[in-house]
Amino acid sequence: MAPKVSVVILNFNGRKYLEQFLPSVLAGTYSNTEVVVADNASTDDSLSFLTEQYPGVRIILLKRNYGYAGGYNEALKQIKSDYYVLLNSDVEVNPDWIDPIIEIMENDPTIGACQPKILSYKQKDHFEYAGASGGWMDWLGYPFARGRIFDVCEADRGQYDDVAKIFWASGAAMFVRAELYHAAKGLDTYFFAHMEEIDFCWRLQLLGYGVVVCPAAVVYHVGGGTLPKGNERKVFLNFRNNMIMLAKNLPKRQSFWKIPLRILLDIISAWKSLFAGEAVYFFAILEAHLAFVKWLFFKQGQSVFPSRRKANLAGWYQRSVAWKHFVQGKKTFAEIVGDKR
């Protein structure tokens, strides 16, 4: 029998997206799939819609809104499977999207997590911001992807269609071995949302497991379905969680100088935003830094730390992607990283 795959959609007031995209998930051709909707205490009519229109879909009711990280941790405790798929509610999938990923993971037990190629639902010949064709990280903790550098998303011309080792798999559509998810203690609930999948994949690599992208599997992501791009809360979470992630996972000697340098670069970014008339962005970064200091001195016990901090990391770029992009004008992954995949 084929391994059991549980596709778990975390929902919070997402009736619109469930109505639009759940049919494509249910139309999948993989032979041993369970589709689960975990509801983060929604206040809209998501639940009544599901029970009336899709009575065969399993629903897990969570007591409150735990966020992305906590919501998945709570839900996956209640699901027995071989593989979990953490799938955003605003994702459309192709019928055969599961098969090629499971084939790759079954053939290589050292692969801990995998993502499909993620294209934009609004512009289907372009990569989507959240993961594109596999996530990378530069030496100062700036995430980017094969097909996406900061806000620049490339057209998909098949240039990143190779199966490749990456640093992180997108939380919009992440496959992970169920047993390993729990062994790694799941997502860090302190993050609430944003960056938690990057932190998780970093910890997987530190445990000795690989993260890969399988572009033969394709999904289409709306993006910004839970929090719009540029939202003050999203900016806060991204900056705070990025700092926490570095403090948790970097070798300690590196963290002593890389984190202050990142803070300096963040401050420059904040002041630049203020002078550009984006005061909300400025105060969100300031609040994020204060929250990071609070975590550093008082809240570390609430986070999940790796058992070790040294490993040969795939998808780790030893130079500055910000310098390459903003100073040298490089726009694409291939221009910045070259032929190194």
Rounded Cα gap, residues 25 and 57, in angstroms: 11
The residue-averaged pLDDT of 59-88 equals 97
Rounded Cα gap, residues 72 and 70, in angstroms: 5
Rounded Cα gap, residues 160 and 133, in angstroms: 6
The owner of tokens 């990283």 is: 337
Q: Is 45 exposed, middle or buried (0-12, 13-18, 19+ CB in 10 A)?
A: exposed
CATH at residue 259: 3.90.550.10
Q: Which residues contact 325 (CB under 8 A, 6 or more apart)?
A: 149, 150, 152, 331, 336
Rounded Cα gap, residues 296 and 39, in angstroms: 31
Tell me, what's the pLDDT at 165? 98
Mapped onto helix, strand or coil, the DSSP state of residue 237 is helix
Q: Which residues contact 253 (CB under 8 A, 6 or more apart)?
A: none
The residue-averaged pLDDT of 32-36 equals 98
Amino acid at 69: A
Give residue 50's pLDDT band: very low, low, confident or very high (50, 70, 90): very high
Domain total for the chain? 1
What dihedral angle (degrees, nearest 10) is formed by the CA atoms of 223, 162, 186, 96? Answer: 70
Tell me, what's the pLDDT at 225? 47
For 316, the token pair is: 């780790």
Residue 274's H or E segment, with its range, is: helix 252-275
pLDDT in tens, 96-139: 999 999 999 999 999 999 999 999 999 999 999 999 999 999 99
pLDDT in tens, 245-273: 999 999 999 999 999 999 999 999 999 98
pLDDT in tens, 179-214: 999 999 999 999 999 999 999 999 999 999 999 999
Total length of the chain: 341
CB 130 within 8 A of CB 223: yes
For 43, the token pair is: 């206040």
For residue 46, give its domain range: 1-341
Residue 334's H or E segment, with its range, is: helix 333-337
Q: 89-114 burial string, b = 16+ CB within 10 Å, else e?
A: bbbbbbeebbbbbbebbeeeeebbbb
Nearest to 197 by CA among 223, 220, 176, 222: 176
DSSP H helical segments within 186-251, as ranges? 196-206, 232-249
pLDDT in tens, 207-228: 999 999 999 999 999 986 444 5
Q: Is 290 exposed, middle or buried (0-12, 13-18, 19+ CB in 10 A)?
A: exposed
Give residue 230's pLDDT band: very low, low, confident or very high (50, 70, 90): low
Rounded Cα gap, residues 154 and 134, in angstroms: 13
pLDDT in tens, 138-172: 999 999 999 999 999 999 999 999 999 999 999 99
Give residue 231's pLDDT band: very low, low, confident or very high (50, 70, 90): confident
CB 170 within 8 A of CB 144: no
**Distance of alpha carbon 201 from the chain centroid:** 9
- State the DSSP string of 134-155: -EEEETTS-EEETTEETTEE-B
